[in-house]
Structure 1
Amino acid sequence: MRILLPFILLLFTIISCKDEDDNIAPRENDFEIEDFIWEGLNTFYYWQNSVPDLADNRFDSQKTYASFLSQFNANHELLFESLLSDKDRFSWIMSDYTELQKQLSRVSTTSGMMIELGRIGNSNDLFAFVRYVLPNSDAAAKKIERGNLFLSINNEQLTIDNYRELLSSDVESFSIQLAQINGQTITPTGVSVDLVKAEIQENPIHIHKIIELNNTRIGYLMYNGFVADFDDQLKSAFAEFQTQGVDHLIVDLRYNRGGRTSSAIKLASMVTGQFSGEVFAQTQHNDKLSSYNENYLFEAIAVQLKMDRLYVISSADTASASELLINGLSTYIDVILIGDDTTGKNVGSYSIYDWIDDEGNVNPRHTWAMQPITLKIANSEGFADFESGLQADHSLQEDFTNLGTLGEIDEPLLEKTLEVMGILPAKSEKNQLFVLENRFEKMPSLQDAIMHTEIPAKMRRIPQVKDFARE
């Protein structure tokens, strides 16, 4: 299966213009894609001035430029990766921009299981557990539930070497072999479940509800991605919170890897409402593009809770636009983080396509697009230095042996949040994760971090004037 990639990026669309003659007929054995990659990184890459091969004076002629590009033998990923800074954890390139567009809208080919992987001891063997299941998916129909464990796919043990292939979206149907915890080990149950994938757009508003406890109304939102397609539904959820007069607000971002900055601004504006027109965040480009730095402002939205404190459930997978929300609000209201430290993605990227004109027509000769880091986003006070993550105020890692039911008050992280709020009495923490930590190690997220914003019209050109044949 494929777990949504990407995501959290500050994503801009860059229009790359070519001479009209380039649109007449395909040219054989040229550097069109390589040139697209180098020019894009030379112009927009945040660390451009620290990468020697991206220096403006790197090449003294088209011949030396062509010689440099030719050494990659049309391996576009290799060229792209060779031009990245050692500081870069997040840039990436794709051979099919339609897949990029789907990812930004949280469209994927999936059985509906949203999973996390863990490593078993010091071996290369992995296990998977289900974080949540998408409604109306095959996994939901087959009664797969949060907390289900499995060790193998199609009777093949998951390992560090094969998990990407076994989880690939190209595999249309597969089976999982369920497992269970026995003491300090995970063992098969003997039950196998056949699953079929389909293209699904995930609604990132996974749960929204009002919790009433001790004469207090708490709005709870589990929000798994900043997706503009669902902004109206997000506004409706907050309108309900406003109508019901919630006293406190919890936004659960533990699985939110980011998304569209415009959605983050709307969410921040609805959480508050008293800061309309003030600076929410500010962009910081490379030296060449510093004149394009801009401020993002709180919006004037009819739905506004006017909160002076926000409780956020976070994890190591809370990234990018999620961190923008937290960091941006922190200079105006109290933002209390419960869970784990966040990812530490304080940078974003433009989405660069190879357009051939100002009308948005794409180059018909290839489908490559890239997501290089192009800027930092700071809060209104200029703070953006959280590469190690935003620190949790109250720490509690999610425990796969005791996940609980999302949205219920006894789910460990929500329960902890209610304790921090003083709604529930504090109790001793029992986290089986620490008992088993020597046996199981969490693997990196299967989703990329994304922050996505619209490109200002004045930045919609990458001049590409080089035109020469491969030697």
Structure 2
Amino acid sequence: MRAVRTARRMDAARGALSAAALALVGLLGACGGGGGGGGAALPLAAPAALAPGDDPIVPSSSVQGQCAAPRGGIDPDTGAAFPDQPGSATTEKRWLRAWIDETYLWYAEIPSTLVAGEYATPLAYFNVLKTPLSTPSGRPKDRFHFTADTAQYRGLSQGGVLIGYGLELAFLSAAPPRDIRVAFTEPGSPAAQAAFDRGLKLVEIDGIDVVAGADVAALNAALSPTRVGETHSFKLQAPDGSLRSVSLAAAAVTRTSVQNVKTIATDSGPVGYMLFNDHTAGAEAQLVAAIYQFKAASVSDLVIDMRYNGGGFLDIASELAYMVATPAATRGTVFEALRFNSKNPFRITAAQATVPFHATARGFSVSAGLPLPQLGLSRVIVLAGPDTCSASESVVNGLRGVGIAVDLIGGGTCGKPYGFYPQDNCGTTYFAIQFQGVNQQGFGDYGDGFVPTCAVADDFGHALGDTAESRLAAALTLRSTGACPAAPQARGGGALGKAEATETPYLIRSPLRENRIISRP
């Protein structure tokens, strides 16, 4: 479970993987993006302008791995010793400036007034090495620049393992009077075993008032446990007003990316439903199993609940899109084409910059090359909201690009048509936007997110997958009648909640889960 921060979510601060003070402090990092195109290698552009007195930009390879605190031991990714050599914070910052200049999508928009010596740490320097420009709506163009501890990143992206309670919270109001609800739990987790059902409201943590309490440090410490066995007490309020107290001990929780796979009987045929929360490596096997289950049930339509899916591996998104769509739509077409900056920093050919609809497993958690099942649908309904981000939006854009109708039910999506190659240096993995993704039709300009077909508030009064839950009910109504239902009275308001209306995500989570990540060619 993520620590609490401001209700506005602070688009410009989706940063470093660390706890954020409740209703006071945002995450430390931010990230980047930009235009340009892939294709054959292009001549290098002139070095970026520098502030007077700053060090000249050198090739990043000449200062890579020169660390203030070199790592010892074996790199589990390579099986060889870590490449770190003795260096300093200054050499780490020189590598950052060079790497950004070479690979950042909007490298030409980096302010020329930044002086490395004015920033105490490489992380502080990295946080400002991004474009200051805005989207058409006025949101920061680059609100995704961030960093993570390399070991933590590896654990989450490969195994989906985190220390915590297996509890995901929705912050309906993070400023006093706070309203913090259970969004969902991971199967078998401490929270699930303690019946932390969706919609329960947090009233107290370790005796501290959650609604109006001022001891945010203690609240954050309890919400973000750092070791297995760490125990904290919670008082919860049910929708009927009843209270109960529960103690939770943190554990190493493996995320189950695909949950609630079910078939809903309707008068016009069976409809498949699944909750899909993360494009992690383990999701590959879970998605394949779900699609086989839907094929066996001969579903005529599919509802994919991605309202809380922040993204992950782009190849997983491509596999899912292939398994949903028709053979004719996916044969020989582009799922997503990657556009890099004018320097073509990774020397990627046009073919390498094209992600097809994968017809076989990529080997994340299913044997590489195994043929994938295909439902052959011409339409799909996606439950979405401001927490639907990056690779999840690629599923929508990629399917629409080949003529598959995609209806969105809920709120507007986060707006991240960008991605990156994660880059480790000295034990920190840096994420700076290096490409923009476009579909078969060349469309990828959704920096302000996708607008829903039917605007429907998130409903914390029903379990996810319950046909009475507002968004799923609206999806079934749209499917059967072709029209959006009248706004349901979710949370007593009837319209989108404040967070959704301001395109502010509910979930306070690591930016590692709001990504479009691809492997290097």
Whether these two folds match at TM > 0.5 is yes
Which of 169, 175, 185 is equivalent to 2:225? Answer: 169
Q: Which has the higher contact order (CA 8 A, sep 6+)?
A: 1
- Cα 1:257–1:40 shift into 2, 3 Å: same
Which of 505, 508, 519 is equivalent to 1:446? Answer: 508
Which of 389, 399, 405 is equivalent to 2:449? Answer: 389
Residue in structure 1 matched with residue 404 of structure 2 by the alignment: 333
Residue in structure 2 matched with residue 146 of structure 1 by the alignment: 198
What letter is aligned with 1:72?
Y
- Cα 1:178–1:437 shift into 2, 3 Å: farther
Q: Unaligned stretches of 5+ in structure 2?
A: 5-13, 18-30, 34-59, 67-81, 133-140, 360-370
Q: Unaligned stretches of 5+ in structure 1?
A: 59-67, 355-365, 457-471
- 1:281 is aligned to 2:336: yes
- 1:266 is aligned to 2:266: no
- Cα 1:43–1:287 shift into 2, 3 Å: same
* Larger CA deviation: 159-168 vs 45-54: 159-168
How much has 1:134 moved relative to structure 2?
1.0
How much has 1:181 moved relative to structure 2?
6.1
Q: Is the 8 A contact 1:266 1:299 kept in 2?
A: yes
- 1:98 is aligned to 2:151: yes
- 1:116 is aligned to 2:163: no
What letter is aligned with 2:342?
D
The count of residues paired between Structure 1 and Structure 2 equals 419
What letter is aligned with 1:217?
P
Equivalents in 2 of 1:167, 1:113: separation in Å? 10
* Larger CA deviation: 295-304 vs 371-380: 295-304
Which of 400, 420, 442 is equivalent to 1:349? Answer: 420
How much has 1:28 moved relative to structure 2?
5.7
What letter is aligned with 2:283?
F
- Cα 1:381–1:318 shift into 2, 3 Å: same
Specify the SS of the correspondent of 1:131: strand
What letter is aligned with 1:141?
Q
Indicate the RMSD between aligned Cα atoms, in angstroms.
3.4
Q: List aligned pairs for 1:59-208, cutoff 5 A.
A: 68-73=115-120, 75-86=121-132, 87-94=141-148, 96-105=149-158, 106-119=160-173, 124-158=176-210, 162=217, 164-170=220-226, 172-179=230-237, 191-208=244-261
Equivalents in 1 of 2:440, 2:84: separation in Å? 49
Residue in structure 1 matched with residue 291 of structure 2 by the alignment: 238
What letter is aligned with 2:126?
F
Q: Deviations for 1:431-467, whole angstroms, at most 9, x for unmatched residues?
A: 24363989975764312311111111xxxxxxxxxxx
Equivalents in 2 of 1:281, 1:20: separation in Å? 31
Specify the SS of the correspondent of 1:239: helix
TM-score (norm 1): 0.80
Q: Is the 8 A contact 2:306 2:392 kept in 1?
A: yes
State the identity %.
24
The structure in which a higher percent of residues are strand is 1
- Cα 1:432–1:309 shift into 2, 3 Å: closer
Q: List aligned pairs for 1:48-63, cutoff 5 A.
A: 48-53=107-112
How much has 1:271 moved relative to structure 2?
0.6
Equivalents in 1 of 2:495, 2:64: separation in Å? 61
Which of 430, 434, 440 is equivalent to 1:370? Answer: 430
Equivalents in 1 of 2:497, 2:276: separation in Å? 31
Equivalents in 1 of 2:64, 2:130: separation in Å? 31
How much has 1:378 moved relative to structure 2?
0.9
Equivalents in 1 of 2:298, 2:515: separation in Å? 33
- Cα 1:417–1:113 shift into 2, 3 Å: same
